[in-house]
Amino acid sequence: MSKRDYYEVLGVGRDASEREIKKAYKRLAMKYHPDRNPGDATAEKHFKEAKEAYEILTDSNKKAAYDQFGHAGVDPNQGGGFGGGGSADFGDIFGDMFGDIFGGRGGGGQRRAARGADLRYNLELSLEEAVKGLTKEIRVPTLVGCDTCDGSGAKKGSSSSTCGTCNGAGQVQMRQGFFAVNQECPTCHGRGKVIKDPCNKCRGEGRIEKTKTLSVKIPAGVDNGDRIRLSGEGEAGEFGAPAGDLYVQVSVREHNIFVRDGNNLYCEVPISFSKAALGGEIEVPTLDGKVNLKIPAETQTGRMFRMRGKGVKSVRSHAVGDLLCKVVMETPVNLNERQKELLREFEESLCGDTKAKKKHSPKAEGFFDGVKKFFQDLNS
């Protein structure tokens, strides 16, 4: 059965960058990973297919061969014309040149075992957790070194042997006409060695899938988009190579009272008409508990009060922000007849004459004077 085009498998164009290829693979790996689809043979097939495509298209040598010759360029079983590291011919003159053009090593030797991939874990926190800091336990599916073969891939008591395809060179010669291009050996993948008696647990991969439980210390003051790096907690490297890193990406949930802006916190506090007019004290919330806020007489709705040092302590500079409280005057509702009557009497006492209007409502008086002048200018 013919294989699907690797670019089609990953859903990317042939001009896709390595970053785009990696992003597409991670998306498919998350969707079809066997841990997420236990017993699903179709998902397992898609996962292996995506992994194979990713390994070919992120290796510059294999990708160059695949782009030029298709599957035949990377699979010796499809008649791609691979040869071992044997005698040179006229095409060898062009070997280095074509190796450079197609991203090859141009006669460079064995490939080192690859470092493990970096991983990202998205961690959602409440505002209180982000501000105060804490230690969180997270579970991360990843690849770890096989504990049975110690990451070698070979069954205990055995070892790897020299690759018969490339005779240990790590590269093979691909011929097209009289041209010859050196490419990574498809049998040993550039290592120069093969495992004839693989470990039963990891099947010769040297790594196994496992979900790790890690404790992550979240420093006080982290914010949306901050990353915490856990060195060496990413995927295990190939055959004993160093592991990658794990990056914990922080996101903070919206709060029902506070809005954060840098190190400052904002909140709206409703106050009654009488409290705004006469002044007094009100209770306002902070992340450390309630505090009293003094409201001066004749406070207008929308006025901002600053409570210093009641914000967030910066994770970098350790400077502490402020809490800014915006008071919003609340219009009373569900009034009875007596309350309505008292308000009408109060309104009449304020608007009895022009002087009273200007005295008690200077903003309103100025606004309506401006409106009157506007229409006069419009009609003149």
> Mind spelling out the 3-state secondary structure of 209-274?
EEEEEEEEEECCCCCCCCEEEECCCCCCCHHHCCCCCEEEEEEECCCCCCEEECCEEEEEEEEEHH
Domain ranges of the chain: 1-58, 59-252, 259-330, 346-379
Which residues does 146 contact at the CB level (< 8 Å), separation at least 6?
153, 199, 201, 202, 205, 206, 207, 208
325 is in an annotated binding site: no
Instruction: Dump the DSSP string for 67-126.
Output: HHHGGGGT-GGGT--EE-S----GGGGGHHHHHHHTT--SS--PPPPPPPPPEEEEEEE-
Binding site annotation covers 166? yes
Torsion of CA 107, 108, 110, 116, to 10 degrees: -130
Q: 223: which 2 tokens?
A: 């914010």
pLDDT at 59: 87
Residue 163 annotated in ligand binding = yes
Query: What is residue 364's predicted lDDT score, i.e. its pLDDT?
Result: 59
Question: For residue 2, what are its two tokens?
Answer: 């013919």
The DSSP H or E segment spanning 42 is: helix 41-57
So what's the pLDDT on residue 153?
87
On the CB side of 145, CA atoms within 13 Å amount to 18
Mean pLDDT by groups of 10 residues along the chain of 380 residues: 81 88 89 84 89 89 81 60 36 36 44 83 95 94 90 86 85 70 82 86 89 94 93 88 92 94 94 91 92 93 94 90 94 92 86 60 62 68
> CATH homologous superfamily of domain 1-58?
DnaJ domain (1.10.287.110)
| pLDDT at residue 270, rounded to an integer | 94
- Write the DSSP symbol of residue 37: S
Burial of 132 (0-12, 13-18, 19+ CB in 10 A): middle
Contact 252, 224 (CB under 8 A): yes
Cα torsion at 165, 167, 171, 177 (round to 10°)? -60
pLDDT for the residue numbered 184: 83
Same fold, 1-58 and 59-252: no
Domain over 259-330 is classified CATH 2.60.260.20: yes
Query: Residue 98's pLDDT is what?
Result: 38
- On whether 188 is known to bind a ligand per the annotation, the reply is yes
Q: Report whether 267 belongs to an annotated binding site.
A: no
The pLDDT, as a whole number, for residue 170 is 83
| Torsion angles phi and psi, residue 76, rounded to 5 | -65, -20
CA gap 220, 312 in Å, rounded: 9
DSSP-assigned beta bridge partners for residue 198 = 154
What CATH number does the domain located at 59-252 have? 2.60.260.20
pTM of the predicted protein model: 0.58
